[in-house]
Amino acid sequence: MIKASRRSQGVSYAIRDVVLPAKKLEKKGIPVLHLNIGDPNKYDFDTPQHMKDALFEAANEGHNGYSPSEGYLELRTGIVEREQKRNNVTYTPDGLCITTGVTESLQILLNASLDPGDELLIPGPTYPQYTLITRFNNAEPVAYRCIEEEGWQPDVEDIRKKISKRTKGIVLINPNNPTGALYSKNVIKNIIDLAGEYKLPVISDEIYDDLTFDGKQYATAALAKDVPVITFNGFSKVYLVPGWRVGYTLFYHSGELDEIQDAFMRIARSRLCASSVCQRACIAALKGPQNHIEMVNQKLRKRRDFSYKRLNEIEGISTAKPDGAFYIFPKIEAMENGLWKDDKEFVLDLLHEAHVLVVHGSGFCSTYGKNHFRAVILPQLETLEKAFDKLEQFMNKKLKTN
């Protein structure tokens, strides 16, 4: 047996790992209600027609070869214009790079900035790739507390306590995956001030920026003044094209990030480019009608309201109210009864008995995510109602037998 690399041994991805046992059930003809993956196109959402038309036209017009490694100038210019209009932040096209989704943005940035032994401060709980890619670079992800009782807002004082000489940056995910938290302007400012005090960059993941229900999403760079900010964004979520894999990285600084930005661009050149035809279609996304965004938010707001109310009615479950993205992160109060050894066992038990698939919270953070699960609020109300009814029946049965 030829051995795999040591660093590959720890690679796991909770969101997709739970799909494997679900597929085994489905092969037996057992239908499973999927509340596990953040892909709106798996439900009753669809890519705007003008974007699909632009993709077809791009292929027919011959945009089937490589694009520039940093992305087409016209797309980068469109993103610069969006940032100026939406956030009043000034960039140049040279200050950003088009990537194969935000995941590649993160991979390239951490490859460009982390040495073995470095530390990266990440929200607890967090999108699993932040932990995974940091460790893949032989660096250490350090989770800071987000306060469930305050709608999962970051605990600024906990961030301060966890800054060390090895800290290379502070990550924000706003709106947040997996909690759906929308960070307050004051919290963002306090984190920026803290980063400035310790001369650290802020890495701000804003892929869900226009998917909000009860408040405004504040771009970190818009509040940063003289603190360097690296922003991740893309088209997957807001423009309903997760499979197109078009993201981008924006560098906001006054020279402090020159070396990291140069390393990022060198790595970007070595991996060639993001999809050329999808980039052309994303130009049309920025230039075309934006009315689908409000329609998506109206749907999600109704589904959020239903999910929040319904989940809190179930004995043994409680949840904070999400204000953005399309996730909810309930607490399994009944874990205290010793019914399951951990939240993953709870998720697998729910899957096999009730045929409802969610993701275990510890897959998003072993400290601050444990004893929770993540569900998406993307399905239609009828599907959500059916799934939560099954969850309630499951909980009642377990609590009764205990």
Q: How far from chain centre, in Å, is Cα 257?
A: 24
The token pair that represents 190 in the structure block: 């306090």
Q: Say if residues 206 and 213 touch (Cβ distance below 8 Å).
A: no
Q: Where are the domains of the chain?
A: 6-46+292-394, 51-287
> Average pLDDT in the 64-93 region?
97
The pLDDT tens digits of the residues spanning 357-375 come to 999 999 999 999 999 999 9
> Average pLDDT in the 269-276 region?
95
The domain defined by 51-287 folds into Aspartate Aminotransferase; domain 2 (3.40.640)
The pLDDT tens digits of the residues spanning 237-272 come to 999 999 999 999 999 999 999 999 999 999 999 999
> Average pLDDT in the 211-218 region?
95
The span from the CA of 182 to the CA of 194, in Å, is: 19
How crowded is residue 289: how many other Cβ atoms within 10 Å of its Cβ? 11
The pLDDT tens digits of the residues spanning 321-360 come to 999 999 999 999 998 888 899 999 999 999 999 999 999 9
- pLDDT reported for residue 240: 97
The token pair that represents 257 in the structure block: 């990030």
Q: Say if residues 167 and 151 touch (Cβ distance below 8 Å).
A: no
The span from the CA of 240 to the CA of 252, in Å, is: 26
Q: State the pLDDT confidence band at 14, using cuts at 50, 70 and 90.
A: low
The pLDDT tens digits of the residues spanning 222-236 come to 999 899 999 999 999
The token pair that represents 142 in the structure block: 């350090």
Is the predicted pLDDT of residue 103 greater than 90, yes or no?
yes
Q: To the nearest whole number, what is the mean pLDDT of the chain?
A: 95
- pLDDT reported for residue 7: 78
The span from the CA of 322 to the CA of 23, in Å, is: 29
> Average pLDDT in the 49-67 region?
96
The pLDDT tens digits of the residues spanning 278-301 come to 999 999 999 999 999 999 999 999
Q: What percent of the chain has pLDDT over 90?
A: 91
Q: State the pLDDT confidence band at 400, using cuts at 50, 70 and 90.
A: confident
Half-sphere exposure (Cβ direction) of 278: Cα atoms closer than 13 Å: 21
Q: What are phi and psi of 67, to 5 degrees?
A: -95, 170
Question: If DSSP codes are grouped into helix, strand and coil, which group holds residue 166?
Answer: coil
Q: How far from chain centre, in Å, is Cα 18?
A: 18
The span from the CA of 270 to the CA of 263, in Å, is: 11
The domain defined by 6-46+292-394 folds into Aspartate Aminotransferase, domain 1 (3.90.1150)
Give me the residues paired with residue 122 across strands.
Answer: 143
